[in-house]
């Protein structure tokens, strides 16, 4: 078979992004059991958590293909930029008014409307009117149901319009109510904006907060609760019919961070609330691990329950066997369609070993155990095997060089929100042994690295820059700074840590970040992740014994 097949450098076994991978994803989706869990409306896990490339978007797309009632909500269709750019809302947020209740109202409103539209196929004004009449004829007449119907009538005029329109409609009403709450009461404010709020006296801020918070707290949460109860009653008549709402791509910069994290927290809390109160509905959110960490960090307050949210998370994890399935299925599709009806696997096109290690182990060791990494590695192997029927050891080693550089660049992009200076800090690892200890990064290296960032003007605001400024201003010692930098490398996946002899190596992409900065000591063994050996110029160490 392989003698008939010739690799061409422009071939691939799929794109690294799920949205660009239709051909392979539709035919080569590997189910690790996560689909059954996430679509089960009786299972509380509704947040898909994983690093970039772990398969979150692939699962969302598979749900759309395989399930009957799947409603996709795209962040860009939610008019959230409209909210973030509202001068009126910016004024009140800057003054100290909390909009969390309003954000939860937005999500509840969107979810209720989307489910009712899907259930009753409300796509025109005529269908909307018949839907209201139908509801009126079947539901018991009582005060609670009257309140729900009144809410639907109030907002029903926009049922058949796009989600973006409805959000702008709700937001505009709040803007008007907020502005009315202070009109004429606080003189000389002028046009509302964040800048105007910063000019308020403390007394004026207190007055704004008092008046505006009353408006925010009075939004129609109670009425929407009755709509949720009515929705539950309607959907309970057919327990076999489930509705899934999916939200993906929340890791893209679709709104300013001050609103972004609050909106995501409100989304999570509303989704958990829906699970608890509306049967046969599940709101499925795909979130990058680092984004969830940032939501926790920037929105934590007295009412925040991180443990409750953690129990709603489904962590995506892959092992070497599953990655082999990914590789086999895609190689088979690439070769089989053109050359043979027999099944083709990695054994037909890859060498058996690289050195003393099996090729699959060698490749898996050089991934963060994510499908995207394995796909990218093999795509690079194809490029170096143009005109050949198999991938030789030499071609694979050559491919590893470009793959290693690409994965490092992808790591910078993945963690840019938290550590925007990682692309400069990483150079502290260049030329190190595969295993080293803290003192192998000298004080001179540390100082030269952070001073270059500070003096070149290339440094960007972020948690890593906060550390740099702290060590520069002698707020923390150089030793403390070094431990923090190593912890950043550990968290993003550049290195693994063994804190004590006999303990297993801790890798954040396998175990999560289960080692704190305070546990890193002068005896801690630091292991560079093999994905980055080539780009870092790492040599095998023989001087350290475990």
Residue ranges covered by each domain of the chain: 18-27+318-414, 34-315, 422-536
What gap in Å lies between CA 220 and CA 232, rounded to an integer?
18
Beta strands in 6-141 (DSSP E): 47-50, 70-73
3-state secondary structure of 202: helix
3-state secondary structure of 506: strand
- pLDDT at residue 245, rounded to an integer: 95
CB-count burial class (<10 Å; 0-12, 13-18, 19+) for 249: middle
Angle between helices 257-277 and 100-120 (to 10 degrees): 50
3-state secondary structure of 335: helix
What single DSSP character describes residue 505? Answer: P
Cβ contacts of 255 within 8 Å, gap of 6 or more: 80, 81, 83, 84, 263
What gap in Å lies between CA 103 and CA 503, rounded to an integer?
45
With tokens 């002068």, the residue in question is: 522
How distant, in Å, are the alpha carbons of 361, 444, 474, 500 from that of 421? 32, 19, 20, 30
What element of type H or E holds 527?
A: strand 525-528
Q: Apex CA 410: angle with CA 408 and CA 416, to 5°?
A: 105
Structural tokens at position 88: 């009126």
Buried b (16+ CB within 10 A) or exposed e, 336-365: eeebeeeebebebbbbeebeeeebbebbbe
What element of type H or E holds 159?
A: none
Whether the Cβ atoms of residue 219 and residue 105 lie closer than 8 Å to each other: yes
Beta bridge pairs of residue 70: 244
- pLDDT at residue 255, rounded to an integer: 60
What gap in Å lies between CA 391 and CA 348, rounded to an integer?
9
What gap in Å lies between CA 367 and CA 341, rounded to an integer?
31
What single DSSP character describes residue 531? Answer: G
Structural tokens at position 383: 């490029």
Cβ contacts of 245 within 8 Å, gap of 6 or more: 70, 71, 72, 73, 111, 114, 115, 281, 282, 283, 284
- pLDDT at residue 513, rounded to an integer: 78
3-state secondary structure of 528: strand
Cite the DSSP H helix spans in 139-220.
Answer: 143-155, 163-182, 194-198, 202-217
- pLDDT at residue 450, rounded to an integer: 93
Whether the Cβ atoms of residue 488 and residue 495 lie closer than 8 Å to each other: no
- pLDDT at residue 261, rounded to an integer: 85
With tokens 């050195």, the residue in question is: 355
How distant, in Å, are the alpha carbons of 206, 390, 405 from that of 55? 47, 28, 22
What gap in Å lies between CA 101 and CA 98, rounded to an integer?
8
Structural tokens at position 424: 């400069």
What gap in Å lies between CA 12 and CA 156, rounded to an integer?
49
What φ, ψ does residue 498 adopt, rounded to 5°? -120, 110
pLDDT in tens, the chain (546 residues): 444 688 888 888 887 776 667 778 888 888 899 999 999 999 999 999 998 889 999 999 999 988 999 999 887 767 777 787 888 888 988 888 888 888 888 888 888 888 888 888 877 777 777 777 777 777 777 777 777 777 777 766 665 567 777 778 888 888 898 888 888 766 667 788 888 888 888 888 898 899 888 888 877 666 777 878 888 888 887 888 899 999 988 877 656 677 788 888 889 999 998 898 888 999 999 998 888 888 888 888 766 777 788 899 999 999 999 999 999 999 988 887 666 667 888 898 999 999 889 999 999 999 999 999 999 999 999 999 998 989 999 999 999 999 999 999 999 998 988 899 999 999 999 999 999 999 999 999 999 999 999 988 888 998 999 999 999 999 999 999 999 999 999 999 999 999 998 889 999 998 777 899 999 999 999 999 999 999 999 975 434 444
- pLDDT at residue 134, rounded to an integer: 77
Beta 47-50 vs 435-436: how paired, if at all? Answer: unpaired
């Amino acid at each position: 078979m392989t003698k008939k097949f010739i690799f061409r450098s422009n071939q691939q076994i799929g794109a690294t992004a799920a949205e660009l991978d239709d051909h392979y994803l539709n035919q080569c989706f590997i189910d690790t059991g996560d689909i059954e869990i996430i679509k089960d409306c009786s299972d509380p896990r509704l947040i898909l958590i994983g690093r970039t490339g772990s398969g979150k978007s692939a699962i969302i797309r598979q749900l759309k293909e395989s399930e009957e009632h799947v409603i996709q909500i795209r962040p860009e269709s939610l008019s959230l930029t409209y909210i973030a750019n509202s001068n009126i809302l910016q004024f009140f947020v800057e003054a100290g008014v909390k909009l969390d209740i309003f954000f939860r109202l937005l999500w509840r409103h969107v979810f209720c409307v989307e489910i009712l539209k899907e259930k009753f196929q409300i796509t025109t004004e005529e269908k909307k009117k018949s839907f209201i009449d139908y509801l009126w004829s079947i539901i018991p007449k009582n005060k609670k149901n009257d309140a729900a119907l009144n809410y639907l009538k109030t907002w029903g005029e926009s049922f058949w319009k796009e989600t973006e329109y409805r959000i702008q409609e709700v937001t505009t009403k709040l803007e008007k109510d907020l502005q009315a709450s202070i009109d004429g009461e606080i003189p000389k404010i002028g046009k509302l904006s964040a800048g105007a709020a910063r000019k308020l006296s403390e007394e004026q801020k207190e007055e704004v907060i008092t008046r505006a918070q009353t408006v925010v707290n009075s939004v129609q949460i109670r009425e929407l609760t009755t709509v949720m109860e009515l929705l539950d009653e309607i959907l309970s008549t057919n327990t076999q019919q489930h509705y899934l709402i999916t939200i993906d791509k929340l890791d893209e910069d679709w709104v300013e961070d001050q609103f972004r994290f609050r909106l995501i927290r409100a989304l999570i809390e509303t989704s958990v609330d829906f699970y608890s109160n509306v049967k046969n509905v599940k709101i499925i959110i795909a979130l990058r691990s680092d984004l969830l960490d940032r939501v926790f960090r920037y929105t934590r307050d007295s009412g925040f329950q991180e443990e409750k949210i953690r129990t709603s998370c489904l962590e995506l994890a892959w092992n070497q066997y599953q990655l082999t399935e990914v590789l086999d299925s895609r190689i088979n599709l690439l070769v089989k369609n053109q050359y043979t009806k027999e099944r083709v696997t990695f054994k037909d096109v890859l060498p058996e070993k690289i050195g003393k290690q099996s090729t699959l182990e060698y490749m898996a060791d050089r991934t963060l155990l994510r499908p995207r990494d394995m796909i990218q590695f093999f795509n690079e192997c194809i490029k170096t095997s143009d005109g050949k029927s198999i991938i030789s050891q030499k071609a694979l080693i050559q491919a590893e060089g470009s793959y290693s550089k690409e994965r490092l660049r992808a790591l910078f992009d993945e963690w840019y929100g938290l550590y925007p200076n990682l692309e400069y800090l990483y150079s502290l690892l260049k030329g190190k042994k595969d295993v080293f200890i803290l003192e192998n990064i000298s004080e001179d290296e540390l100082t030269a690295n952070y001073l270059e960032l500070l003096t070149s003007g290339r440094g960007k605001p972020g948690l890593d820059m906060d550390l740099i400024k702290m060590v520069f201003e002698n707020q923390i010692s150089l030793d403390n700074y070094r431990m923090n930098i190593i912890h950043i490398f550990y968290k993003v996946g550049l290195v693994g840590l063994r804190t004590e002899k006999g303990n297993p190596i801790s890798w954040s992409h396998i175990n999560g970040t289960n080692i704190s900065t305070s546990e890193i000591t002068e005896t801690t063994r630091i292991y560079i992740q093999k994905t980055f050996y080539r780009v870092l110029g790492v040599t095998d160490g023989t001087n350290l014994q475990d």
